[in-house]
Structures are given as structure tokens and as C-alpha cells.
Amino acid sequence: MNEASRAAPGRPLRPARNWTLIIAAVGAVSLMTWWSARGIGFSLVELACNLPGGRRLLVESWPPDWSFFPRLLGPLLETLQIAVVGTVIGGILAIPIAVLAARNLTPGFLVWFVDRNFMNILRTLPDLFWAMLFAAAVGFGPIAGALALTVFTIAVISKLWSESLEAIDMAVPEAVRAAGGSWLAMLQFGAIPQALPHYVSYALYAFELNVRASMILGLVGAGGIGMVLETQRSTFEYPRVTLIVLSVLVLVLIIEKISESIRRRLV
């Protein structure tokens, strides 16, 4: 320790922590939590009033009313149909929207800017809001549901896929362009083939989400099993509600397993 080369390099002081940032972060989180808890806490009074009745309802909801099952088959099938239609139309419409939103492929800044913000706004509204809107526009029924899922699909696929498109290797597209190919030729032969596996994967993912979503669209009148759920729920037929929830879960899990196994084979 007494060698000159290693003689006390001086102990640095521990740098002061960024207290402003720490206090700001902790303060913001605590404040948000306190504010939210208080806002929600009002319902704690209701909790006390409702508890006895609620418990009875819960006890009643088991076992499920199996005899109701045959009447679910039609709506369950309709639910899947809604999901298929929404995924296919939305999946097709998502292609141009994603391409125009990819920085490396878009033909111009203005198009890119408008398209990207359009995409972001689509993403802000939840699936059920679209369902309510379309139900108001075209009337209650599965068509409203399919349209809602179309929009939802566009939002999901275009966002994810435009990111994949931005990550492609630009050598081939640029070569197509250099050889005198048009913008469309560049897309068709240079850009899209590279990101095609991603597209298929995201489309399947969107289909999974859509099957899930289609189950509840009916709560606002947009067709499928959810409409049955809504009538049984509002009349407090909880044994039937339980049956519906169970069959929905099983169907969703089956579809997800199939879709997952296809996706795994793709990637």
C-alpha cells in the first residue's frame, strides 16, 4: 500500500442523489394512489350494503345451469363468425395503413404523418366503444360487431406490422427501385415478402384478441354470445351466466392454443 503508484487516489464522495427526481416520482405515485383510492373508496360504503345480497348471488351461481347449453351453440358460432369477418376485413385494410406508416416505405412525409396519427387515434378507443358506435350506426346485431372488430384489427395489426416493416433490410427494395421499378413493385418484390411472416403472425394474434373481444361485444348489442350474456346478467340468472362464462373461456383457450401452435411454427 505504500507504493507511490497506488498511493491513495482519494476517495470520491458519494454523489448526491437526484432528490428532486426521487421526490417528484414518489410524490406523483403516492398522490395518484391516494386520489384514486379516495375516488374509488366511495363505493366501499356500497360494498357494506351489498355484501349479503352479493354473497347469495355468488352461491347461487354454482353449479352452472347445464340445461341452458344447447341455446348457446348458435350464439357461440355467431361469435366466431364475427371474429373471422372482422379479422379478414381488418387484416386486409391494415396492409396499406401499415405500409404508409412505415418511415422507410412511405411515399411522403405528409402521408406518413396523417396515417400515423390516424393509427394512434384508432388505438385510443377500446373495442367495446367501437361496438357501441357501430351498433348505433347500423343497428344491433353481428354486423356492428364485425365492423367494430374490423377497426380493432386495423389498430392492432397496422401498429405492430409497421414496426416490422421499418426493421426490414432495405437492400432489395432499393435495388428494385434502382432497376427502375415502381413504388408498388418495390413493395411487392422488395419489402413485403420480407415482413410477410410477421404479418401472418400478427394476423393470428389479432384473431386471438378478436375471439376474446367478440365474446363481450354483445354486452352492448353487437351480436354473438355476449347478447345472451347481457340478458341473463341483467335478470340475475347467475347459474346461466356461469355457464356462458365457462363456455367462453373454453372456446377462447382452444382457439388460442391452435393459433399459438401455428404461430410457433411460423417464427
Partner 1 sequence: MTDKAAIRFQGARVVYPNGAVGLAGVDLDIKPGEFVVVVGSSGAGKSTLLRSVNGLTPLTSGSITVGGQPVPKKEGRELRRLRAGVGMIFQDFRITRRLSVMTNVLVGRVAHVPGWRAMLNLWPAADREIAFRALERVSIADKAWVRAGDLSGGQQQRVGIARALAQEPAIILADEPVASLDPVTTHQIMRDLVRINQELGITTLVNLHFLDLARRYGQRIIGLKAGELVYDGTADSVTQADFKNIYGRDPDAGDLLDESEAS
Partner 2 sequence: MTVRTTLAPAAGMGWATQVTLFIAVLFLVCAWAIDLTPAALANLPRQMATVLSFFYPADLNYGATRVWPALLESIQIAWMGTIIAAMLSLPLALLGARTLFPRIARLVKLISATARAFPEILLAIYFVPIVGLGAFAGALAIGISSVGMLTKLGSEVVESIDMGPVEAVQAAGGSRLLALRYAVVPQVLPEIVAHWLFRFELNIRASAVLGVVGAGGVGGVLLNTLRYRHFEKAAAVLLLTILVVLIIDMVSGAIRRRLLR
Selected from 22, 57, 73, 114, the binder of partner 2 by CB under 8 A is 57
Measured CA to CA, the distance from residue 263 to residue 69 in angstroms comes to: 31
Measured CA to CA, the distance from residue 248 to residue 217 in angstroms comes to: 12
- For the chain, the helix, strand and coil percentages under 3-state DSSP, each to the nearest 5: 80, 0, 20
Please list every residue from 198 through 237 that binds partner 2, using CB under 8 A: 212, 215-216, 219-220, 223, 229, 233, 236
Name the minimum Å distance from CB 85 to partner 2.
5
Q: Are 152 and 90 in contact (CB under 8 A)?
A: yes
Contacts of 260 (CB under 8 A, 6+ apart): 208
Grid cell locating 44: 366501499
Name the minimum Å distance from CB 65 to partner 2.
15
- The helix (run of H) or strand (run of E) holding residue 256 is helix 238-266
Give the other-Cβ count within 10 Å of 122's Cβ: 17
Name the minimum Å distance from CB 211 to partner 2.
11
| Window contacting partner 1 (CB under 8 A); options: 1-9, 83-91, 101-109, 120-128 | 1-9
Measured CA to CA, the distance from residue 245 to residue 223 in angstroms comes to: 16
For residue 246, give the nearest of 230, 262, 231, 229 by alpha carbon.
229
3-state secondary structure of 69: coil
Selected from 112, 170, 181, 194, the binder of partner 2 by CB under 8 A is 194
Name the minimum Å distance from CB 81 to partner 2.
4
Give the x-and-dash track for 5-44 against partner 1 (CB under 8 A). -x-xxxxx-xx-----------------------------
Measured CA to CA, the distance from residue 143 to residue 222 in angstroms comes to: 7
Indicate the residue among 26 and 77 with the shorter CB distance to partner 2.
Answer: 77
Is residue 59 near partner 1 by the rule CB under 8 A? no
Name the minimum Å distance from CB 84 to partner 2.
4
Measured CA to CA, the distance from residue 5 to residue 68 in angstroms comes to: 87
Measured CA to CA, the distance from residue 170 to residue 105 in angstroms comes to: 9
Indicate the residue among 2 and 43 with the shorter CB distance to partner 2.
Answer: 43
- Contact partner, 182, from partner 2, partner 1, none, Cβ < 5-8 Å per class: none
- Contact partner, 55, from partner 2, partner 1, none, Cβ < 5-8 Å per class: partner 2
- Contact partner, 78, from partner 2, partner 1, none, Cβ < 5-8 Å per class: partner 2
User: How many residues sit close enough to partner 2 to count as binding (CB under 8 A)?
Assistant: 73
Q: Which residues here bind partner 1, judged by CB under 8 A?
A: 1, 6, 8-12, 14-15
